[in-house]
Amino acid sequence: MGAHLVRRYVTETDTEPDPTKKYEFDPQFGFEEREAREMVATQDQMNLAMLPLEQRDYCAQHLLKLMKCKRDTFPNLLACKHERHDWDYCEHQDYVMRMKEYERERRLQLRKKRIASQPEAA
Amino acid sequence: MAGVGFRRWAQALSRGKGSGLSALLPGCRAASGGSKADLPSSYPLTPEAKAAAAKKYNMRVEDYKPYPNQGEGYGDYPKLPDKSQQERDPWYQWDHPDLRRNWGEPMHWNFDMFTRNRVDTSPSSMSWSSMCKTMFGFIGFMMFMFYVGEQFPSYQPVAPKQYPYNNLYLENGGDPEKAPEEVVNYKI
Pick B155's closest partner by Cβ from A19, A23, A95. Answer: A19
- As for the ipTM of the complex, it is 0.89
Please report, rounded to a whole number, the percentage of residues in chain A having pLDDT higher than 70: 98
**What pLDDT was estimated at residue B28?**
73
Q: How many CB pairs under 8 A join A and B?
A: 69
Pick A95's closest partner by Cβ from B152, B158, B187. Answer: B158
B-chain CB neighbours of A102 within 8 Å are: 157-159
Among residues B105, B87, B40, which one has the least CA distance to residue B66?
A: B40
CB B64 within 8 A of CB B49: no
CA distance B166 to A122: 45
Is this prediction's pTM over 0.90?
A: no
For residue A99, the chain B residue with the least C-alpha distance is B158
Kindly report, residue by residue over B40-50, the tens digit of the pLDDT.
999 999 999 99
CB B171 within 8 A of CB A60: no
A-chain CB neighbours of B167 within 8 Å are: none
Q: Return mean pLDDT, chain B.
A: 90
The 3 state secondary structure assigned to chain A is CCHHHHHHHHHCCCCCCCCCCCCCCCCCCCCCCCCECCCCCCHHHHHHHCCCHHHCCCCHHHHHHHHHHHHHHCCCCCCCHHHHHHHHHHHHHHHHHHHHHHHHHHHHHHHHHHHHHHHHHC
**Residue B16 binned pLDDT confidence (cut-offs 50, 70, 90):** low
For residue B188, the chain A residue with the least C-alpha distance is A97
Pick A37's closest partner by Cβ from B155, B160, B187. Answer: B187
CA distance B25 to B9: 10
A100 inside 8 A of chain B by CB: yes
Kindly report, residue by residue over A24-51, the tens digit of the pLDDT.
999 999 999 999 999 999 999 999 999 9
**What pLDDT was estimated at residue B3?**
67
Q: Do A34 and B186 touch (CB under 8 A)?
A: yes
CA distance A25 to A19: 14
